Amino acid sequence: MTESAPLLRQAPGSSHQGGLSFQVEGRDPGSPARAGRLQTPRGTVPTPAFMPVGTYGAVKSVTPHELRETGTSILLGNTYHLYLRPGHEVIEGLGGLHRFMGWDGPILTDSGGFQIFSLSAMRAVTDQGAEFRSHLDGSLHLLTPEKAIEVQASLGSDIAMPLDECPPGGAARGAVEAAMRRTTAWARRCLERARSLREQRGAAPALFGIVQGGVHADLRREHAAAIVSLGFAGHAVGGVSVGEPPALIHEIGALTGPLLPEGSPRYMMGLGRPQDLIRLIGSGFDLFDCVMPTRNARNGTLFTSGGVIHIKNEAHRRDPRPLEEGCPCQACRGYSRAYLRHLFLSREILGHRLNTLHNLTHYHGLVRSAREAIVAGRFAAWSRQTLARLDAGDGDD
């Protein structure tokens, strides 16, 4: 996967879909990295940006106000889980997901397809859609491309993702090609349903197309061209972080990023470590999401500019220092490593909260620093220095 890729021009009609617009404000002369501004009806998102994952309509253990304090400007919601509980009709009847969860900023929702495809034994996929049994009560459901858009419109999403087929890591080339064809057909149906909803209701979410193709360079190029031609408001790369080693994921990003239009946002789905974000920003991506900062926080793994700290380690038992000097989060401003270790070992909920606030503050600070370096024209140097520091160790004494 070493082929270079020409830039594709943005398809007609893809800008300002669903009230969304995107503008590139700065570029790095030493890499494809760019700084942008994603404008939505509910607020502006400076890019690069990281989206915390609110699976059930909440980022575990923290409030929307606290999310704002960490630097969060946009959240990701999980369509599959909200569809099953409490149900999209319930949320719509209560004023939509923003009002339901008390978050007034932009929300991007996934289609629910990734969770369904991960069920394997509990689902069946045809050209019509994905039939699956709920993991909650075993009830049978059919998620079609049209239904995926209808559910996300009921939630009131600002940005919606079309239903796509995500082949597992290591899938045979034939299976990847079949998933591409189905994803393209479903993408057309999702766009058509969004257009009809916009006509009927006067509003519908902006849609991002999803590029599949596995680890095959020629298939990634082929599918990027097909998806870009459909006229989406933005474009995402899917089918990564499903078992591939980080080096291969970065290679996919370096190939695929330049295949996507300059004039619309580029979203790398489901990643990842701070090192992954830096390298993929360097490939021209603007948006990222991952459960890593929040899930790892609950497991006692904390991210700092010097690497990872495992707060349960004995070395922190009597350590009076904050996690990171100069970090503005509540954990670093008010508590010692020794106290955070005590909370974690005691299974206190406060420990989960403080760890989560720290990790999200770190992630947002990282992408903000990347943006500043891009605007200043020094991203290539900044990324080399930052990656060298992060790769040097895990930060523990």
What would the DSSP string read from start to end of 172-199?
Answer: -HHHHHHHHHHHHHHHHHHHHHHHHHHH
Catalytic residue among 28, 104, 110, 319: 110
Query: Angle at CA 276, nearest 5°, toward 242 and 54?
Result: 65
Rounded Cα distance, 134 and 231, in Å: 33
Kindly give the pairing relationship between strand 123-125 and strand 49-51. Answer: unpaired
Dihedral angle, C-alpha 57, 60, 65, 69, nearest 10 °: -130
Q: Is 391 a catalytic residue?
A: no
Query: Side by side, which strands form the sheet with 34-40?
Result: 21-27, 34-40, 43-47
| Strand residues in the chain grouped as ranges (E) | 21-27, 34-40, 43-47, 49-51, 53-54, 75-77, 107-109, 123-125, 130-133, 140-143, 159-160, 206-211, 234-237, 266-268, 287-289, 301-304, 307-310
Kindly give the pairing relationship between strand 107-109 and strand 159-160. Answer: parallel
CB 227 within 8 A of CB 184: yes
CB 207 within 8 A of CB 194: yes
User: 32-68 burial by CB neighbour count: b if 16+ within 10 A, else e?
Assistant: bbbbbbbbbebeebbbbbbbbbbbebbbbbbebebbe
Q: Is 289 a catalytic residue?
A: yes
Catalytic residue among 28, 158, 164, 289: 289
Rounded Cα distance, 313 and 102, in Å: 36
Rounded Cα distance, 275 and 259, in Å: 22
Which sequence positions are flagged as catalytic? Answer: 110, 289
